[in-house]
Structure 1
Amino acid sequence: MIYLDLSDREERERAAATFDRNIVVTAGAGTGKTTLLVDRLVHLLLRNPSPLDIKEIVALTFTNKAATEMKVRLRERLESYPNIRLDREPGSRAEKELFRELRSLMERYHLSKAEVDRRSREALHQLERSYIGTIHSFAASLLRLYPLEAGVDPQFAEDEGPRLERQFEESWQLYLDQELSLAGARKEDWKRVLRKIRLEEVRSLAFSLCSETIQLESLKTQSREDGTAKPVALWLKKNEERAAELIQRHPGKNYKIDEFAHAALAVIREFLARGELAAGVLQEERDLLAGSSPGRVKAWSEEDFEAARDLIRVAKNLCQVDGDLARLVTALLVPFAKGLRERFLQEGWISFDGLLVRARNLLRDHLHAREELKRQFQAILVDEFQDTDPLQYEILLYLAERTGRQAGYWRQVELTPGKIFVVGDPKQSIYAFRRADIEAYLEVVQEVIQAQGGLECRLTNNFRSHAGILNVVNGVFERLIHPVEGLQPPYVAIRPPESRTDTEPRETHSLPYRKVQIRRVESEAGPLDSDRARRLEAESLARWLSEEVLGRAEILNRNGEKVLAEPKDVAILLRKLTDVHQYLEPLRRRGVRYVVEGERHFYAAQEVIDAVNLLRVVENPSDRSALVGLLRSAVGGLEDTRIYELHRAGLLDCRAVRRVGNDRKRLLSPVKELYEALLELHEEARRLPVGQAVFRIFSRIPIKLLAAISFNGEQAVANLDKVRDQAELLAREGAGTLKEIIARLEGRVLEVKEESESALAEENVDAVRILSVHKAKGLEFPIVILAGCHALIEGRGDEPSAEYDWSTELAGLRLGEYLNLPAVYLGEKRRRREREEQKRVLYVAMTRAREHLTISCAKTERGAPTSFLAMLEECLGDLSACDSPGSLQAGDGTVEFLAVTENLAVPSRRRERKKEKKEPKDWTAYADLWKRRENDYQAAIQKPVFLTPTKLKKREIELSEGSEELRRQFSGSTDALLIGDLAHGFLQRWDFRDPTDTFHEKLRVFLASRLQHRPSDSRLKVASELEEIFGAFFSSAAYRELASVQILGREIPFLTPWNGQVMEGVIDLLYERDGQLYLADYKTDRIEKSDLEKSAEIYRHQIQIYSGAVQRALKREVAGFKLIFLRLGEALEVREGD
C-alpha cells in the first residue's frame, strides 16, 4: 500500500520493507495493523533479492477470525496484481491506489509485470498450505511434524477443556478411594491436611495442578528448597523499607492504623529473617492483623493511607503462609496430577495449554528439530503480540534464533536479523486472565528484540474515529497512563490522518451527535446504592435509546453520507457481563431489539432450563420438580394456582392421564394433551440413540416454536439446537445412556456452568449489540455506550488454585485460607498488574467508537474508589461540581456533561397509541401486489432450481427449428453415454506424463471392475471402442500438448448462478500454459473433421458457462477453451467472444 497524506508514512514504509533488522510495530487502536501485516507479507513474497516462498513464512494471529481475515486480504491483494493493466489508466480511487502500489513494488525490487504476476499466482496456489493461523494451530502442526520427539500420538485430538474435566472427575474419585481407604499408605498425611482445609478445596487445587502450564518438577523442587526465592526476598525488602518510611512519618501509636503498621513491619521482618512465621511467634501482632482493617484518619494523607492498606494486606496474607502444609499437599497431589497428564496424553488428547507447553519443549530440548524448523521458516510475523502467552514468546524466539546457535534458555537466544516482525499495542494488553503478561511482553520486546538491534516503528494515524473522539482519548490517557516498570508502557497518542478533514463535513454543528458525552443518571429520591443505581441507569439508557437515538440521531456512514442511527449501529459495552440482565429487561420492554455477544451463562438461559426439564420428564415421568418447571414454562403455560390444584388432586404426574377418574378429568384437561405426548416420548426415547431421541422430543413438543416467538427468538432457537448438539457430543464421548447425559446437563444447569451461548451470524442483524469490553476488542461501532462506569472494579477472587509465573519461575499455591510464600508475592504482583490493566481496558472501550461515545454512569451513595468513573474524574475533575448541561476539557478535546433525573417506577408494558382518525383504505394496490406475487410464484415453481449446460442446450434445440442432425447428435444412445462416462473416468486418473503404450493394460484394469455385470460381448465391444478412441488420442498433437502443461484440476464440480437458476456442471480439465489459464472438455462424439467448426456453435453455451464459473471462482481471466475430440485426436480452441 502507498501511504499518502499520513504523518506516520515513513514509519509504515520502514516497517513493511526493512529486512535486515527485526521489527517491533507499536500500533495504536484503529491504525490499520492488519493492512500493514498484509503489506509485509507482499514485500516478503516480491522482494529482490531473496524472495520467500509463502510456505517459508509463519504469520500468527490471536483468533481464527483474524487469521481468516488476514488470509482473505492477502488473497485479494495477490489476485489483484495480475488483473492490473499497466497500459490502461485506472478508473476508480481504489484502482489508482492499487496501480501506484504495483508501480512502487516493481520499481523498488526491479521487477517486470510478468514476474510480479508469476510470483503472485505461485503464492496463491500455495496459500491454503501456508502457516497463516493461530499460535495453537501452529503449535499443533509442529507437534505433528515431530511426534516422536514431542512424545505425542501423531493423530492426537485437541481438547478445549471438557474432556480433561471429565477425566479428572473419574480419576479423582478413584484416587481418593485409594488414598483415603484403610489400606492407604498416606492416611496420616491426609488427616493432617484435612484438619486445615476442606476436601473440596484440595480437589480445586488438584484440578489446577493438572494444567500443563504448571511446572510440576519446579513445584517439587521449590517445596524442597530452604530459604526464600530471590524475587520474593527483594519484594519483602521493598515492603520493609516502605513500612519503615511510613512509621518514620507516623512514629506514634495514637491510632489503630499506627498499630497495624507496626505489626505489618514486624511480620515482614520476620519473613525476611527466617522465611516463615513459626508457631507462637509475634502472636500479638498476628491477633491484631486477624481483625478488621483500620479506617482512614485525618492525620494520615490519602497516599500514606493507601500505602499502609497495601502493607497491611500483605502482612495479613503472610500470617496465612503455611509452608509445611504446602509441602505436604504438594507431595500428595503432584503424583496424581502427573499420572493424569500422562493418561490423558496416552489416550490421544492434548489440551490447548499442552499444545504450547509441548511445542516449547520440543524446540527447547530437541536441537535437531529446532535447527530444521529454523531453516524451514525464514520469516515470522505475529499480530496482537501484547496478548501473547509467555510460552508463545519462547516458541517464537527459538524459531527466530540464528542458524547454528542452540541456546538452552530463551533469554540467551541470539536472533536472526530481519526474521521477526511483531505488531502489538501494549496499551491494549487486557487479557491477563488468559495469561497474557505485559511484563513478559515488555521484557521480550525491550531486552531481547530491541536489545539485539531491533527497530521499533510506531503507527499513530487512526482511521476509525473522528478528531473529536481522538482528542478526548488522548487528553484522558496522557494523564491517566504513566510508565510503570514491568506493568505499564508510556502512552503513545493516536491522531486522525491529515486527509481525514477532506471527507468530513465542514459544519460540525450540522451533526451535533458526533461527540463524546458523559451521561450521569440521578434518582429523584437522591443517591442510591450500587444495585439500584444500575437498575436506574439501565431504565434511563433504554428510554434514551428508544426516544432520542434510534431513528433520530444523525451520523455518518462509512461512505461519509448522513444517515439516521439504527439499532445495529449501537453497541453497549460493559466491563463484564455479570449484571447484563439488568440492562436487558428495560430494552425488552421498550421493544429495542438486542443481541448479547460473549455471554457465558448459556445454562442459565430460560429456554435451556425448560429444555432440560423437558428431557428430565421424558426420561423419568415421576420427576415432579422437572414437571412443575415444565408446566410453569411456555410449554405448559399454567399459573401457579392451577399447578397447586393439580398437586392437591394428585395429578402432578403425567402417568395420571391413564388412570384418572371422571371426577378429575376437568382438572386434567389443560395438560391432558401434554401428558399424553410426554408418555409417548418416554416409550420412544428408550429405543432411540441419544441424538435422535433429543431431536424427536424437540420435534414432538413445540419447544422450538415457542422459543422462536419469544423476544430473543433467533438466539433462543440456536440455544436449543446447542442443547441437542451437546447431548450428541456427550453421547459420542461415551457419557452413557440418555439418563446419564440428562443428569450431566442438569448438573450444569444447577451450577450455572460457564458456557457461551450458541453463536449467531450477527453481523447483519439489525439489533443493539451488548458485549464486554474484552469481546469488543478489535471491533468498531458507529455509536458506543460504555455503561456501568460507576461500578466498583473488583479483582479476581482468591479461589484455591495453583499459578505459575513465567518471569520469576515461581509457583504459588492457595489452599483455602492458607498459602505458600510465593503465592503471597504473586497475588500482590497480580493485584498491581490488574490495577494498571483496568486503565487499558478503559482505553480499549473508548477507542471502539467511530461517530459517538457516551460514558454512562449513575450517582451512588458512595463513589467507588476503583471504577472507570473514578479514573475519568482523576483526569477531568470532580463531576459533582460540573453544571448540566456543561462541558469539560480533556486536552484538546471537549466532553459534554449531562445529568439526567429519572425514577425507578417501572414503565407500563402497554404502549400509548395516538388517536388517529380512521380513513377508508384502498386495497387495490395490495390486491395487485399479491396477484403479481402469485404469478411470480407459479412461474418459479415451474422453473427447476438446478440446470446443466446439456439440459439448456436440449431446451434450446426443442424450442428452435434446429436441424435433425443437431437433435440426433445431442440425443445419444445408452452405449454412447456409457462410452463417454468411461472415457472421462479413465482420463481423470491418467497421468499425461506416463508412457502412452501402457494405456492398454491400465484400461483393462480400469474396465474390469466397471463392466463386470455386463454381458461378455458387450464388455468386448465397449473395450474395443475405447481402445480405438484412446489409440487415436494418445498419438495426437492434442495429447502431447496436455503432457507439457501444468494440470490444476480434473473433473471439477461447480455451481454458479444463471438467470435466476443454479447452473451445475463438471469441468473435465483445468490447466495452465505459459502463465495463462485454459479449460478443456473431452468429447466422444462421432464427428467429421470438416464439421469441427460447427461444433463450436453447438457447445457455445457450455463454453460461456464454464469460463464464467472459473473466472468468478478464481478471479482470473480464461485464455481459452479447448474442445478435445478424442476419436479424431483433434483439439479446437475457442476463445470467449469468438
Structure 2
Amino acid sequence: MSRPTGLNSHQQVQTLNPLTLPFSGSRLIEASAGTGKTYTISGLYLRLLLGDINGMGDSDNPLTCEQILVVTFTNAATEELRDRIRRRIQVAFKCFLGLSVDDPFVEALYQNTPEDQRPIALRRFDLALKSLDEAAIFTIHGFCQRILADLAFESSLLFESDFTLDDSEFLHHAVRDFWRETCYPLPDDLAEIIAKAFTDPDNLVKQLRPLLGASQATPLVPTAKFATLAQSLQQSLARFKLAWPRGRDGLLELLHSLPLNGTRFGKASDQYPKLAEMFDSLDNWLASGRGLPSPKALEALSLSQLKLNKGGVIPSTEEAPLMAHIEQLATLIAEIKPAFLYSAKLGISARFAKQKQQKNVLTPDDLLTSLEAALRANHQTLPRAVASRFPVALIDEFQDTDPLQFSIFSKIYQLDGSQHSKDTSTADKALGLLMIGDPKQAIYAFRGADIHTYIEARRATAEHYHLDTNYRSGANMVAGVNHLFSQHPNPFISDSIPFEAVNTPSAARHKVITEKIPTAASLRLRLLSETDNGLNKTLARQILAEDAAAEITRLLTDAANGECLTPKGPLVAKDIAILVRDRNEAAVMKTALNKRQIGAVFLSRDSVFNTLEAREMLLVLRSLADPKDERALRSALATALLGYSAEQIHAFNQDEEQRQQLLEQFFNLHQMWQKRGIMPALLSLANSTHLIERLLVTGNSSTEDGQDTQADNIDGERRLTDFRHLAELLQQKSTELDGISALLNWYEQQLIDNTGTDEQQLRLESEQNLVQIVTIHKSKGLEYPVCFIPFVSLARDNRRRPSPMLYHRTNAQGGQELVWDIEGTDEGWEQAKQETLAEDLRLLYVSLTRPVYLCYLSVANHSRQLKNGLKSQLHETAIGYLLGIDDDNCDFSRLCQAVQHLTQDLDAINFTLVPEHIDLSSLPSSQDEAQVLSAKTVTRHYLTPWRVGSYSGLVKNTSQGKAKPGADDEALGSLELSGAALDLATPNLLGLVASDPQTAEQDPLALSRFNFERGANAGSFMHLVLELIDFTKAEIDLAQHLPKAMLQYAIAPEWQAVLQAWYLDLLHAPLTLPPSETVPSDASASPLCLAKLAPRDTLVEMEFYLPLSALKDTELNTLLLHYGYQSNLKFDELEGMLKGFIDLTFEYQGKFYIADYKSNHLGDSFQAYHQGALQQAIAEHSYDLQYILYSLALHRYLALRLPDYDYDMHIGGCYYLFLRGMSAKQPGFGVYYDKPPKALIFALDALFKRSQLTPKAAGAIA
C-alpha cells in the first residue's frame, strides 16, 4: 500500500516490509511512536549480515558488524541499540540451529534463506555475536571521532587530537579575551551602551551560546562592523553636542507650533510638560558631559517617530535639521547593540577555535565541523574511503539531525549532487543510506536539532516508507490519539509533516485497565473553566495538579482494593507517569502528591547545575577555598546544605571560642581539599553537619492532623542525590584542572552555561515504588501504563519578546534556512511564535503516545484580564490548536463545544469537568511499607565455575588474585603501626593504637627490628626492598632503594638507620640450622647466606600456574596427612588453575632452592625465633602447604628445562626466612628448612593431573 505525501504529488510512501526492503541508494523510513522502530532496525541488521541487499533472499554481499554503520544521537540509545541487536542475533542463531523462536520476522528470514545457505548463515550469526563489541554502532559524534582518528591522513587533520565533552574552560577564556580587548578601550558613552545591554561577559555568552558551536545561522540583515559604527556614533555625538545649544530653542518653538500627541508629550494647555522634561534631560546630559542622551527623548524627537494629532504635518529635514540629526543619532545608538553582538560572535568564535586548536583539542561540535570540512576539501577521496568502509548506514532518530550532520552523510552516500555523487561505478551503486525517524517527534531544537533539515532530506529522497502498526498501546488508546490529530487538516502546522493514523494488532484489544466503573475511554480529558476574573497560569497549574493528584489517589486506592487492574495485576504507583515540561511544573505536582501521602520521583534531562543544591554548593566551595573569609563562611552556614540556623550563626559571632573552632574546622577542610581532593573534604563536611540525617529524616514536617508526610524524605533523597552528584563532578574535574581557583572558576562557569551534558543530567534519586514525574523530553522513547498530562493547555509566556531570536525563513532556493534575528523584528517574532507552537504540537504528540492503557489530558481555559477585556490564551497552545481554537475570544462554553465535537463519535475519548471542590483524601497507608525485608538464603548447592585459585584461597576458602608479597605474613589481629603509619592513619585507628599501652609507652629512641611495624604493610615493605637490591652489593643498593620504599609504604624516616643495619645483618645470616638439627647434606664449610647470591643465580617473584581438574579439599587433606603434614583444608571444588609467586628461587652448588620471606613477629629477642617457634608458626599459617605447592611448581619447571632432571639431585629444599630473627651474630635463629618428600611431590603432581594414583602407588614410584 502507498499514499501520496504532503510534499510532492509524485512521491509515494510505501508500507515497509523489512524482509524485502532494498538497501541500495537512499531511503527514508518514517516510524511513528510505538511502531517498532528498533525492532525494525535490528531486523534489517540481520539481513545485512546475511548479505540480502536487494530483498530477494540472496546472500551475495554479506557484511560484517564492522561494515554496517548504525548511528543514533545519544550514548544511552547507542547502548540500547547494541543490546537489542545482540539479542536479535542470538534469536536468529537459535532459529538457524533449528530451535523454535517467538519472532515472526526471524522465522520468515529463515524460510526465505535457501536450505543450502542456512549453515553459512549460522556461521555468520556466530561470527557477528563474537565480534559485536567491534560493531560500528555510534553516536553521530562517535562516528565523526572514529573517522577523524582512523583516517587522519586522508582528512588532513592532526594525529592524536584530544577529545573533551566540556569546552566551558575554553569558552570562558575566549569570551573574556574578547571582552577585555574590545570593551576596555571603548569611550565611556559606548561602554555605557554595552554595559547596559550585556552587563558582563557571562551575560554576553548566554545570548551567544547557541551560535558558537556548529550552528549555521545567518543574520537576518547585514550588520555594520562594530568598529565603523562606533566611530560614526562618536562623530555624531560630537556634532550633536555642538548643534544642540544652537538649535535647541528654535526646535522647541517649532514643536510648540505643531499639534503634538498628548499621550507622548502631555497636554497642549499645560505647555506640553513631557516635552519640557525631554529637553531638560538633553540639557542635563550635555552639561554633565558623560554617558548618552536619554533614549526615550531621542526616539520621541526623531522625525520618523514624531507623533502628531490628526491633521498635523511632519516637518521636513530642511525645516528641522536638528531632529534629523537626532534621528541619525538614535539609529546609530540602536544599531550599536546588534553590531556588537555580531562582532562578539565572530570574535569569540575565532578565539574559541584558536584556543582549542592550540591545545589540539576537539569538542563534539568540532568533530562535526572538522569532518564536514574534510569531506568537502577531499571530495574525491575521503567520502569514497568512508563509504567503502561502511557500505550501508542506518541513521536512527533522523528527525533530530541538523544541516551539518545531514551534509556529512550526503557527501558520503551521494545525496549532495557532487561529482562523487554522480559517479556511477558499480561500487557506488552498492551504497545504502537508510534514514529512520519520525518528524512528529522532533522535540530537540534546543540541542541543535532542525526539523527543516529532515524536511529537506525528505524532499531529496525518492523512496519513502512508513511503519503503520502501533505495538505499544491499547486499541482504544491508539484510536483516541488518531482521532485527536485527525481532526485538524494540518495538525503539525507544516504541510511537510502529515499525520497518518496507525493500526493496532489484534492483541491490542486486551490492553485495557479493568475499573470499578467500566468505561471504554482510554483518552480522558479533564476540563477546567475560567472564573469571571479569568484564570491565571499560577492558579490553573495548582488546581490541575490537585485534580491529577486526587485522581491518582482514587486509582491507587481502588487498585489496593482489587478494583483497578492492568493485565499484569493491580495498578501500582510506579505504573503512573506525570508528564511535565520543566522542574517548576514537577515541583507543583510533587507538592500535590505529597499532601496525599503519595511518593514521587522526578526524572529530567535537566542539568544538576540548575538546582538549588548547585547554587548553595558554590557558597560552600567559596568558604572552603578561603576559610579566612568570614563573610563567605557565614553565607555557607546559612545554606540548607549545612543547615545552621540564624541563631546558631549569631552565636558564632558572639562566642569567640565557638568562632575559633568553626574557623579551625574550615581551615582543616581547606587543607584536606588541597591534599586529598574536594570530594573527601565535602564528605567530611557532610558528616560533621549530619547532612544525610537531616535530609533523609522522616517526619520533619507534619500535616495539619499531625500525620507525618513523605515530602521531606522524598525531597531529601533528591537533594542528597544532587549533592553527591555535584561532589563527584567536582572530584572528576579536579583531576584535569590545576588548583582550587581553577576548579572554582570552572564550577561558576557551569552555573552560568548550564548546557547539561549527559554526565550532568539529574540522576534518579530513588528506585522505590513511586509515581514518576517525567519531563516530556525525558519520556521520549519510553512507555508507561498510565499517563497524566496536566499542564499542556497552559500557554508559554509570550509577553516578553526575546532578543536576539532564532527562526527559519525561506531562502532563494526555496528551502529553509536558520535566521539570527539580532534586532527582534515583528515579523521574526510572529515566525518564532509559530515555530514554538509547532514544537508544542510535537511535544503533545510525544506525550500522548507514551501511555499503554490510559491517559488523562487536562485542558484549562487559561486566560488573562487585559484592558480590552478577558482574553483566552488557549489558542497559543497545542491542544487549543487541535481543538480549533484560533483566537483569544474563547470562553468555557466554546471550549466545551469543541471537546464535545471531538468526543461525540468515538467511545475511546471522553471528558469530565474538574470539580469545584477537589477531593483531598490521602492514600491509605500500605502494610507492605512497614514490612521487614531480609535477603533470601541460598539453599541450593552450586558448582563453582572454572577459576584461578591461590594458596591463600585454599587456606582461607576465598578466591583471590595476586596478593602483595608479605600480605599473608601476619594476621590483622596482631597489627602494630610505626610512627610513620600513625601519621597517615585515620582518627579511629589512631585511637586504637594509642590505647595499646605497649605502643603508647614505647621509647621512640629504642627502635629495633622487634618493635618495627607489624602486619601486611610491613611485610610488603620488607619484600619490596629484598626484591630491589642486589644481595652482593647490598650496602650500595640499600642507600638508593630503601628511602624510596619507606616513602611508598609510609615508614617514618627515623627508621632508616635501623632498617639499613637490619638488612645488612640478615643478608649475612647463615642459611643453616642450629647444631641440634640435621644440616642439609650440601652445606659447605663456608655457610650459605643471601649475601652470596648474585643476581644471575636468583629468580625473584617467579610466577607459576598449576592446572587443576576438579580438586577437592578431602583429596588434598588425605594426601598431605599421609606424608605427615597436618591439613584440615576446606574449600570449594577447584577447577581451573592454581596461581602463585615464589619470593626467591636460587641455585647454589648445583641445587635449586626456594626461599620465602616472613616478617611475622614471634617475640622481642632472637631466641624467640628458635625452631620450635618457627614450626608452630608454620603450622598455624599452613605455610607447609605453601612451600609444598612451590616445590611442585619448581619440580615441573625444572623437569621442562633440565634434560637430566632428578628430584633428589636438583631440588635443594625450601627455606622460610623469618626476617626479625635472622642475624649473622645469632646463627640458626629465624631460619626454617624443609624438603618435601619426592613421593609427596609426585603424588601431588598426579592428583593435580587427575591421574588415579593412591599414596601407596606414589610411594612405589619413589
Q: Same fold (TM over 0.5)?
A: yes
Q: 1:212 to 1:654 in 2, by over 3 A?
A: farther
CA, structure 1 residues 784+1024, in 2 after alignment: closer, same or farther (shift >3 Å)?
closer
1:726 aligns with 2:708: no
Using the TM superposition, give the Cα deviation of residue 440 of structure 1 relative to its aligned residue in structure 2, in angstroms.
1.9
Seen in structure 2, the aligned counterparts of structure 1 residues 382 and 875 have a Cα distance that, compared at 3 Å, is: farther
Matched residues in 1 for 2:416 and 2:639: separation? 70
Q: Which moved more, 1:387-396 or 1:212-221?
A: 212-221
- Sort the Cα spacing of 1:678 and 1:539 in 2 relative to 1 into closer, same or farther, 3 A: farther
Identity of aligned residues (%): 19
Letter in 2 for 1:692: P
Which amino acid in structure 1 is aligned with residue 724 of structure 2?
Answer: D
CA contact (8 A) 1:516 1:895 kept: yes
Partner of 2:130: 125
Residues 413-433 of structure 1: per-residue CA shift (max 9 Å, x gap): x98466011211122222222
Please point out which of 789, 792, 801 is paired with 1:789: 792
Structure 1 SS opposite 2:471: coil
Find the residue that maps to 2:181 and give its secondary structure: helix
Q: Residue 505 of structure 2 aligns with which residue?
A: 497
Deviates more, 1:335-344 or 1:131-140: 335-344
Q: Is the 8 A contact 2:722 2:763 kept in 1?
A: no
Aligned to 2:81: 70
User: Using the alignment, how far apart are the partners of 1:762 and 1:696 within structure 2?
Assistant: 22
User: Contact 1:513–1:553 (CA<8 Å) still a contact in 2?
Assistant: no
Distance in 2 separating the partners of 1:516 and 1:802: 35
**Larger RCO: 1 or 2 (CA < 8 Å, sep 6+):** 1
Query: Matches of 2:398 and 2:654 in 1, distance apart?
Result: 59
Cα separation, 2, equivalents of 1:745 and 1:622: 19
Query: What SS does structure 2 have at the residue aligned with 1:496?
Result: coil
CA distance in 1, matches of 2:639, 2:1118: 71
- In structure 2, distance between residues paired with 1:706 and 1:784: 33
Q: Which residue number in structure 1 is paired with residue 441 of structure 2? A: 428
Mind listing any 5+ residue stretches in structure 1 that lack a counterpart? Answer: 1-7, 225-278, 290-317, 660-671, 917-922, 937-941, 986-1006, 1033-1083, 1099-1127, 1129-1138
Kindly tell me: are residues 1031 and 753 of structure 1, through their superposed partners in 2, closer, same or farther at Cα, counting changes over 3 Å?
same
CA distance in 2, matches of 1:866, 1:688: 55
The whole-number CA distance in structure 2 between the counterparts of 1:1019 and 1:961 is 28
Q: For residue 167 of structure 1, report the CA deviation from its aligned partner.
A: 2.3
**CA offset at residue 175 of structure 1?**
3.6
1:381 corresponds, among 390, 394, 413, to: 394
In 1, Cα distance between the equivalents of 2:615 and 2:882?
A: 41
Shift of 1:138: 0.6
1:755/1:562 Cα in 2 relative to 1: closer, same or farther (>3 Å)?
closer
Taking the TM superposition and a 5 Å limit, the aligned residue runs for 1:151-166 are 152-160=157-165, 162-163=166-167, 165-166=168-169
Please tell me whether the aligned partners of residues 805 and 832 of structure 2 are also in contact (alpha carbons under 8 angstroms).
Answer: no
**1:768 and 2:771 matched:** yes
For residues 482 and 117 of structure 1, the distance between their equivalents in structure 2, rounded to whole angstroms, comes to 49
Specify the code of the residue in structure 1 equivalent to 2:578: I
Equivalent AA in structure 2 for residue 720 of structure 1: F
Q: Which residue of 2 aligns with 1:136?
A: 141
Cα contact 1:23–1:418 (8 A) shared by 2: no
Q: CA deviation at 1:792?
A: 0.7
Q: Aligned letter for 1:957?
A: T
How many residues in Structure 1 have an aligned counterpart in Structure 2?
868
Alignment match of 1:711 (pick from 714, 720, 724): 714
Q: Secondary structure at the match of 1:518?
A: strand
Q: Which residue in the other structure is 2:884 paired with?
A: 874
Partners in 1 of 2:1113 and 2:113 — Cα distance?
Answer: 55
What is the aligned partner in structure 2 of residue 543 from structure 1? 550
Contact 1:556 1:563 in 2 (8 A): no
Stretches of structure 2 that go unaligned for 5 or more consecutive residues are 1-11, 53-58, 226-297, 309-329, 698-712, 865-871, 941-954, 962-1105, 1155-1192, 1204-1239, 1255-1260
Change (3 A) 1:287 1:394: farther
The alignment yields a C-alpha RMSD, in angstroms, of 5.6
The structure-2 alpha-carbon separation of the partners of 1:546 and 1:486, relative to structure 1 and needing over 3 Å to count, comes to closer
Q: Aligned equivalents of 2:1116 and 2:521: distance in 1?
A: 62
- Match of 2:205, as an amino acid? S
Residues 467-520 of structure 1 show CA distances to partners (whole Å, capped at 9, x for unaligned) of 21111111111123518896642211112114533x457999875486211123
Amino acid at match of 1:697: L
Map 1:878-957 → 2, pairs under 5 A: 880=893, 882=896, 889=903, 892-902=906-916, 956-957=1113-1114
Query: Hey, what's the Cα distance between the residues in 2 that align with 1:931 and 1:125?
Result: 36
Q: Which amino acid aligns with 1:693?
A: A
CA deviation after TM superposition for structure 1 residue 75, in Å = 1.2
Contact 2:1147 2:1153 in 1 (8 A): no
Q: Distance in 2 between matches of 1:790 and 1:571?
A: 18
CA displacement at 1:573 relative to structure 2: 0.8
> Which letter maps to 1:871?
Y
Counterpart position of 1:1026:
1197
8 Å CA contact 2:844, 2:878 repeated in 1: yes
Match of 2:34 among 27, 30, 35: 30
Return the offset for 1:751.
9.5
Q: What is the CA-CA distance between 1:561 and the residue it aligns to?
A: 2.6
Inter-partner Cα distance in structure 2 for 1:634 and 1:332: 38
Matched, 1:465 2:469: no
Closer/same/farther in 2, CA of residues 150 and 762 from structure 1, 3 Å limit: farther
The Cα of 1:708 is off from its aligned counterpart by 3.4
Change (3 A) 1:711 1:57: same
- 2 CA distance for matches of 1:751 and 1:58? 33
1:360 to 372, 397, 416: 372
In the other structure, the counterpart of 2:349 is: 337
Indicate if the aligned counterparts of 2:562 and 2:570 stay in contact, CA closer than 8 A: yes
Q: How does 1:88-103 map to 2 (within 5 A)?
A: 90=100, 95-97=101-103, 101-102=106-107
Q: How far, CA to CA, are the matches of 1:74 and 1:1029 in structure 2? A: 48
CA distance in 2, matches of 1:883, 1:804: 35
Deviation string, structure 1 residues 34-53 (Cα, Å, up to 9, x no partner): 00000000001113121112
Larger deviation, residues 139-148 vs 166-175:
166-175
Determine if the alignment matches structure 1 residue 591 to structure 2 residue 594.
Answer: no
Q: Determine the C-alpha separation between the residues in 2 that align with 1:680 and 1:1086.
A: 62
Q: In the alignment, residue 693 of structure 2 is paired with which amino acid?
A: L
Counterpart amino acid of residue 67 in structure 2: E
Distance 1:1029 1:481, change over 3 A: farther
Cα drift, residue 171 of structure 1 = 3.3
1:843 & 1:931 partners in 2: Cα distance?
44
Contact 1:607 1:716 in 2 (8 A): yes
The answer as to 2:180 corresponding to 1:177 is yes
Distance (Å, rounded) in 2 between the aligned partners of 1:392 and 1:741: 33
* Aligned match of 2:325: none
What SS class does the counterpart of residue 155 from structure 1 fall into?
coil
Contact 2:621 2:744 in 1 (8 A): yes
Alpha-carbon contact 2:30-2:437 (below 8 Å) kept: yes
CA shift, 1:750, in A, is 8.9
Query: What is the CA–CA distance in structure 1 between the aligned matches of 2:739 and 2:810, rounded to whole Å?
Result: 40
CA distance in 2, matches of 1:813, 1:566: 48
Q: 1:834 to 1:207 in 2, by over 3 A?
A: closer
After superposition, the C-alpha distances for 1:813-844 in whole angstroms (9 at most, x for unaligned) are 555xx36xxx8876655443333232222111
After superposition, the Cα gap between the structure-2 partners of 1:288 and 1:751, relative to the gap in structure 1 and judged at 3 Å, is farther
Matching of residues 9-24 of structure 1 within 5 Å: 11-14=15-18, 17-20=21-24, 22-24=26-28
8 Å Cα contact 1:214/1:803 also seen in 2: no
Aligned counterparts of 1:37 and 1:898: Cα–Cα separation in 2 = 41
Change (3 A) 1:602 1:409: farther
- The yes-or-no answer on 1:702 pairing with 2:703 is no
TM-score (norm 2): 0.59
Q: Distance in 2 between matches of 1:350 and 1:653?
A: 54
Which whole-Å CA distance do the structure 2 matches of 1:362 and 1:702 have between them?
A: 56
Are the aligned partners of 1:384 and 1:423 in contact in 2 as well (CA < 8 Å)? yes
Contact 1:569 1:782 (C-alpha < 8 Å) held by counterparts: yes
- The CA deviation string for residues 723-754 of structure 1, in whole angstroms up to 9 with x for no partner, is 212322342332632x6645764676699887
The residue that corresponds to 2:484 in the other structure is 476
CA drift of 1:898 comes to 1.5
* 1:30-69 mapped onto 2 (5 Å cutoff): 30-46=34-50, 47=52, 48-69=59-80
Q: 1:964 to 1:404 in 2, by over 3 A?
A: farther
Structure 1 residues 628-673: Cα deviation after superposition (integer angstroms, max 9, x where no partner) = 66357374463x5x35xx63x6x337854167xxxxxxxxxxxx8x
Deviation at 1:720, TM superposition (A): 1.5
